[in-house]
């Protein structure tokens, strides 16, 4: 959410990302989600991606995992 910033020497990580700031209704320890930098990272974990328009699911796109593929080394 807007109003949060990464700490000066920290970057977004897979496990924890220290943030600073105040957001109404958000408390210390609440989860905050980041957008993936690369589509492949998120596609490793899901069978499909849901396409949302105007708060409704309008389509589903299969990921390579959903098509039975695995490209992890």
**Do residues 11 and 34 make contact, with C-beta atoms less than 8 angstroms apart?**
no
DSSP element (H, E) containing 20: strand 19-21
Q: Is the dihedral of CA 59, 39, 68, 33 positive or negative?
A: negative
Please list the rounded mean pLDDT of every run of 10 residues in the chain (73 residues): 82 74 83 72 82 94 81 62
pLDDT of residue 9: 81
Chain-centroid distance of CA 47 in Å reads 15
């Amino acid at each position: 959410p807007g109003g949060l910033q990464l700490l000066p020497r920290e970057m977004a990580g897979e496990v924890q990302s220290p943030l600073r700031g105040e957001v109404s209704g958000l408390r210390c320890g609440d989860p905050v989600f980041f957008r993936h930098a690369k589509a492949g990272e998120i596609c490793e974990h899901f069978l499909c991606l849901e396409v949302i328009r105007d708060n409704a699911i309008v389509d589903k796109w299969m990921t390579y995992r959903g098509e039975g593929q695995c490209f992890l080394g």
